[in-house]
Amino acid sequence: MGAVGSLLQARSVVPHRPALPRPAWLGVAAVGLAAVALGTVLWRRARPRRRRRLQQVGTVAELCIYPVKSCKGVSVSQAECTALGLRSGHLRDRFWLVIKEDGHMVTARQEPRLVLVSITYEDDCLVFRAPGAGQLVLPCRLPSSNTIHNCRLFGLDIKGRDCGDEAAQWFTNFLKTEAYRLVQFEKNMKGRASRKIFPSFVQNYQVAYPDCSPILILSEASLADLNTRLEKKVKMDQFRPNIVVTGCGAFEEDSWDEILIGSTEMKKVLACPRCIMTTVDPDTGVIDRKEPLETLKSYRLCSPEEKPIYKASPLFGIYYSVEKIGSLKVGDPVYQMVQ
């Protein structure tokens, strides 16, 4: 979900600091919009709840789970949508994370070749493969005796159970820069709270190792629109969405506040601010640092009143929280819920 990284990255680059302050874009937004949010909440509570009308806005074209942050995704035909994101069996979205020995996260922003690590799900195990590396088979259920690490993502603390020396050596040998370890989030661990990631006006939820929210949605039409402006075309997996929608116009997803897919209800959090993660070629693991980010900046910047939130980051895709857990599948209609 290569997303808010550049806006939050400053919080994780210096090891062994005490809790770092929230970035300015979060703090200013909290002050500027808190009153509006409170007024909206009170207004909604005062109104009698009316039955919402369903308006189909598209169809699910693809579902993708990214087990390890910054590694390749796993395409699935159907999934459960939990409060923490998509799940298929023991395969869960961004429940595994590569860390340095001091606990700080490692993503493709620092190690672009992570995007070359492919994952398959076989017999309740994750099977890792990468160019020039042998196969790593990792059970999804780890021994309770494995160490629990204190990890650091964008300046926030979160736990992770160590996946063992074999996994650590596999990632260290493949990346060949320094010693790394792999950790796994467990559902009894405390996630990162949305109120610490975003201004206080967003919904109250938790995430494991995603940048910002449990679900990222992007439409095929939005990608097609971007590709008309690029010399070198880009692929959908360069933007790492969980749900790809077809049958709508470019950037129509920007306007979907509350949606129903299958038996799952979701609510818009914010647009996804893009960073240099989008410039990593998923086929080569080479980081360009320019495209498609520069082109997106030419036409996908926020409105002036939203600059305290997004700064100069271009917007591409929408973050959602899960309001009602359920199941969904490729081919499901995507409905906007209208009051």
How much is the pTM?
A: 0.86
What is the structure's pLDDT at 38? 40
pLDDT, mean of residues 185-191: 96
pLDDT, mean of residues 39-49: 44
Read off the pLDDT of residues 115-129 as tens digits, 9 standing for 90 and up: 999 999 999 899 999
Q: Are the CB atoms for 85 and 335 separated by under 8 Å?
A: no
Residue 188 lies in a domain: yes
Domain interval for residue 122: 5-36+50-338
Q: Are the CB atoms for 159 and 209 separated by under 8 Å?
A: no
pLDDT greater than 80 at residue 297 = yes
Residue 223 lies in a domain: yes
207: left (phi over 0), alpha (psi -120 to 50) or beta: beta
CATH code of the domain in which 128 resides? 2.40.33.20
Confidence of residue 4 (pLDDT cuts 50, 70, 90): low
pLDDT greater than 60 at residue 9 = no
Residue 9 lies in a domain: yes
Residue 41 lies in a domain: no
Residue 42 lies in a domain: no
Q: Are the CB atoms for 241 and 94 separated by under 8 Å?
A: no
Residue 43 lies in a domain: no
What is the structure's pLDDT at 50? 61
* Cβ-based neighbours of 23, under 8 Å, separated by 6 or more: 7, 8, 10, 11
What is the structure's pLDDT at 225? 98
Count of the separate structural domains present in the chain:
1
Residue 44 lies in a domain: no
What is the structure's pLDDT at 201? 75
Residue 151 lies in a domain: yes
Q: Which residue's structure tokens are 């159970």?
A: 161
